């Protein structure tokens, strides 16, 4: 099991405290610290000397840190857990169970509840919108919902498991993503390679989650969304999705203007990064496509047409926006599914 650490040492120690008492003897626990200025590594070494501690000389982001920890780890299954989570009894066995039961399942994800309001969901897996925008499945819904295990579009990076052989086959997380959507991208690549993704409701994790708009969040999210689409979908599919992607650009620009105006250049910088790194993205695209065992249609069938604007803002505006735009996305998805049979 791997925890990628960066600052907030109190939350990290609480996470490790909840985990260490319930791990089976054959499960190793690794913490990789991304050069935290708040001295997380020293705190872990003092409080949990039995934990295997890796110290990165630089901040590699979640994806890069996780990849380095996986290289140093052993075991058939890889479990990644956010440092701002705590776990309930039996969470690990329940998370691993679907992987043990079926070779077809490549990844699993936990029932993730809000730590401050555990009667409500943070995520029961993630949904992928037709445009590549990712949303927490069930955010804010009652914890008694989403009880049956089921196949989902993507895992939540806060708590998920993956077969080592699948992780190795896919080449791990995309280190260029640094933060945001690396879990969604890994999930989409796993689907393309022919593996299922299952939500394991018996694995209960509490997440200290709140929506934060950090200075570079739009840059990372948009840059990574473009990378994900370019790597995973065929050119004819991207052509069919052009109206959807154009509408998504209108929406994301609207969000930037209304909610993140002081960082408005981040959206432009996301375009620039893709342009400057086009060759690298195309190289990764060739690798992804070489592993393809599923059709684009399978990916589109797993997407959602509905954007829950309420996850990003409150009040009447997001409700009205959804009422206007979601029927358009419904139509665009129906058209895409009518056309894409490859």
Confidence (pLDDT) at 32 = 97
Confidence (pLDDT) at 23 = 87
- Beta-carbon contacts of 264 under 8 Å, excluding residues fewer than 6 positions away, are 256, 257
pTM value is 0.95
Q: How far apart are CA 246 and CA 178, in angstroms?
A: 25
Instruction: Indicate if 43 and 191 belong to the same structural domain.
Output: yes
Evaluate whether residue 8 is within a structural domain. Answer: yes
Could you say which of 155, 180, 207 is where a domain stops?
207
Evaluate whether residue 109 is within a structural domain. Answer: yes
Could you say which of 207, 231, 250 is where a domain stops?
207
Q: What is the CATH number of the domain that holds 137?
A: 3.90.550.10
Confidence (pLDDT) at 53 = 96
Contact 128, 154 (CB under 8 A): yes
Instruction: Indicate if 180 and 40 belong to the same structural domain.
Output: yes
Confidence (pLDDT) at 238 = 98
Residue 81 has φ and ψ, to the nearest 5°, of: -135, 130
Instruction: Indicate if 262 and 153 belong to the same structural domain.
Output: no
Evaluate whether residue 212 is within a structural domain. Answer: no
Confidence (pLDDT) at 117 = 96
Evaluate whether residue 279 is within a structural domain. Answer: yes
Residue with tokens 């109206």, as numbered in its chain: 243
Residue 259: CB atoms within 10 A of its CB come to 12
Residues lower than pLDDT 70 in the chain: 313
Instruction: Indicate if 146 and 81 belong to the same structural domain.
Output: yes
DSSP letter for 120, please.
B
Instruction: Indicate if 125 and 15 belong to the same structural domain.
Output: yes
Instruction: Indicate if 265 and 167 belong to the same structural domain.
Output: no
Residue with tokens 């804010």, as numbered in its chain: 140
Confidence (pLDDT) at 266 = 94
Domain that holds residue 169: 2-207
- Beta-carbon contacts of 249 under 8 Å, excluding residues fewer than 6 positions away, are none
Instruction: Indicate if 152 and 260 belong to the same structural domain.
Output: no
Instruction: Indicate if 193 and 269 belong to the same structural domain.
Output: no
Instruction: Indicate if 228 and 181 belong to the same structural domain.
Output: no
Confidence (pLDDT) at 24 = 85
Whole-angstrom CA distances from 173 to 61, 65, 126, 225, 298 are 11, 10, 17, 14, 22
Could you say which of 177, 207, 237 is where a domain stops?
207
Number of domains in the chain: 2
Confidence (pLDDT) at 144 = 87
Instruction: Indicate if 230 and 84 belong to the same structural domain.
Output: no
Structure tokens at 94: 């329940």
Instruction: Indicate if 302 and 194 belong to the same structural domain.
Output: no
Evaluate whether residue 53 is within a structural domain. Answer: yes
Evaluate whether residue 140 is within a structural domain. Answer: yes
H or E stretch covering 186:
helix 182-192
Evaluate whether residue 234 is within a structural domain. Answer: yes
Instruction: Indicate if 203 and 224 belong to the same structural domain.
Output: no
The C-alpha angle with vertex 72 and arms to 66 and 74, in degrees rounded to 5, equals 105
For residue range 12-37, list pLDDT tens digits in order.
999 999 999 878 888 999 999 999 99
Confidence (pLDDT) at 124 = 97
Residue with tokens 């590699």, as numbered in its chain: 60
Evaluate whether residue 229 is within a structural domain. Answer: yes
């Amino acid at each position: 099991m791997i925890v990628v650490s960066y600052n907030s040492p109190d939350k990290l120690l609480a996470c490790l405290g909840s985990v260490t008492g319930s791990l089976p003897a054959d499960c190793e626990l690794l913490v990789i610290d991304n050069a935290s200025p708040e001295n997380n590594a020293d705190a872990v070494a003092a409080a949990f000397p039995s934990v295997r501690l890796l110290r990165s000389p630089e901040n590699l982001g979640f994806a890069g840190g996780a990849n380095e920890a996986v290289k140093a780890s052993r075991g058939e299954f890889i479990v990644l857990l956010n440092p701002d989570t705590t776990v309930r009894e039996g969470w690990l066995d329940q998370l691993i169970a679907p992987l043990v039961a079926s070779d077809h399942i490549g990844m699993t994800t936990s029932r993730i509840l809000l730590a401050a309001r555990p009667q409500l969901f943070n995520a029961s897996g993630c949904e992928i919108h037709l445009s590549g925008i990712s949303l927490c499945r069930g955010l804010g819904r009652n914890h008694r919902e989403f009880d049956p295990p089921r196949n989902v579009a993507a895992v939540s990076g806060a708590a998920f498991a993956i077969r080592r052989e699948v992780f190795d086959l896919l080449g791990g997380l995309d280190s260029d993503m640094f933060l945001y959507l690396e879990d969604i991208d890994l999930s989409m690549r796993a689907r393309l390679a022919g593996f299922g993704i299952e939500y394991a409701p018996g694995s209960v994790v509490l997440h200290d989650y709140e929506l934060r708009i950090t200075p570079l969040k739009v840059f990372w999210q948009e840059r990574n969304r473009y990378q994900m689409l370019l790597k995973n979908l065929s050119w004819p599919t991207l052509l069919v999705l052009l109206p959807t992607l154009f509408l998504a650009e209108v929406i994301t620009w609207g969000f930037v203007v209304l909610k993140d105006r002081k960082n408005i250049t981040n959206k432009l910088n996301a375009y620039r990064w893709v342009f400057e790194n086009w060759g690298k993205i195309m190289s990764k695209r060739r690798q992804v496509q070489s592993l393809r065992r599923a059709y684009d249609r399978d990916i589109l069938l797993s997407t959602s047409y509905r954007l829950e604007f309420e996850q990003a803002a409150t009040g009447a505006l997001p409700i009205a926006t959804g009422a206007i735009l979601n029927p358009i996305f419904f139509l665009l998805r129906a058209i895409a599914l009518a056309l894409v049979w490859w």
